[in-house]
Amino acid sequence: MPQLLLFNKPYLVLSQFTEPTGPAGKTAKQTLAGFIDAPGFYAAGRLDYHSEGLLLLTNNGKLQARIASPENKVWKHYWAQVEGDATETALQPLRDGIELKDGPTKPARVSRLAHSPAPWPRTPAVSPSRAARSSWLDIAIYEGRNRQVRRMCAAIGLPVLRLVRYRIGDWQIGELQPGQQRRINIPMPDSVKTPNIAAGKSRGPSKTSRRH
C-alpha cells in the first residue's frame, strides 16, 4: 500500500535530499537528508528554502503526481505574515488572479486573520520592528509555481516576512513540530483514475518522530 510521510520542514532547509557540495566538500545548505531516513520516498511538490511547514513525501509515483499536479486542484494552505496593512482592497487582486512574470495566477482564497496563528518560534525571528507593522493572511492556492505566494504578495506591495504551510488537501500539519514527521497509509485502487486521496487524511495527533 502506498505511504505518505507528513513532514514539518524547518526554516532554511531545502525540500530535497541532496545539495551540491561547496568548498572543502562541505554542503552549503541543510537538506531533507538531515531529518528523514526513508529510502524510496520523494517529495510530492516543493516548499522553498525560506518557507516552513507541511511537506508531503511518498513512495508511490502515481500518488506523488496526483498530489503535485495543478490539474487535480489539491489546495495548499498557508499562513503568511506580510509587511504592511493588508486591506480588503489590497487583497482583492489575489482573489481575482494577478499577473506575474510567468503569466496570470489562478484565483486564490485569501483572508486576513484577526490574530496571529501563533506557529512555533522561528530562528532567526522576524524583527520586532517589522513584526509590529505586519499583517497575517490565510492564503490557499492549487498551483505550484516557484515561490508563488511570495511573488503574489510582493506584486500587491505586501512582502512576505514569514510563510508557513499548514495544510495540503485534507492533510494538516497538526501538532508536528519543525523536523518531526508522521507516516500514514493511503488506499489507492489502481482502477480509479482520480482516487479519493482524502481517504488517507490526518484525523488528529498521532505518534511523531524526530531524527537528531
Q: Give the model's pLDDT for residue 125.
A: 95
Q: Which one of the listed residues 48, 85, 96, 102 is annotated catalytic?
A: 48
pLDDT digits (tens, 9 = 90+) for 17-40: 987 666 665 657 899 999 999 999
Confidence (pTM): 0.85
d(CA 30, CA 33): 8
**Mean pLDDT within 155-184:** 97
User: Start-end ranges of CATH 3.30.70.1560 in the chain?
Assistant: 75-168
Does residue 148 carry a pLDDT above 60? yes
The mean pLDDT of the chain is: 87
d(CA 38, CA 197): 21
User: Start-end ranges of CATH 3.30.70.580 in the chain?
Assistant: 1-74+172-207
102 assigned to active site: no
Q: Give the model's pLDDT for residue 144.
A: 85
**Mean pLDDT within 45-69:** 94
Q: Give the model's pLDDT for residue 197.
A: 41
Q: Give the model's pLDDT for residue 153.
A: 98
- How is domain 1-74+172-207 classified at the CATH fold level? Alpha-Beta Plaits (3.30.70)
Q: Is 75-168 in CATH node 3.30.70.1560?
A: yes
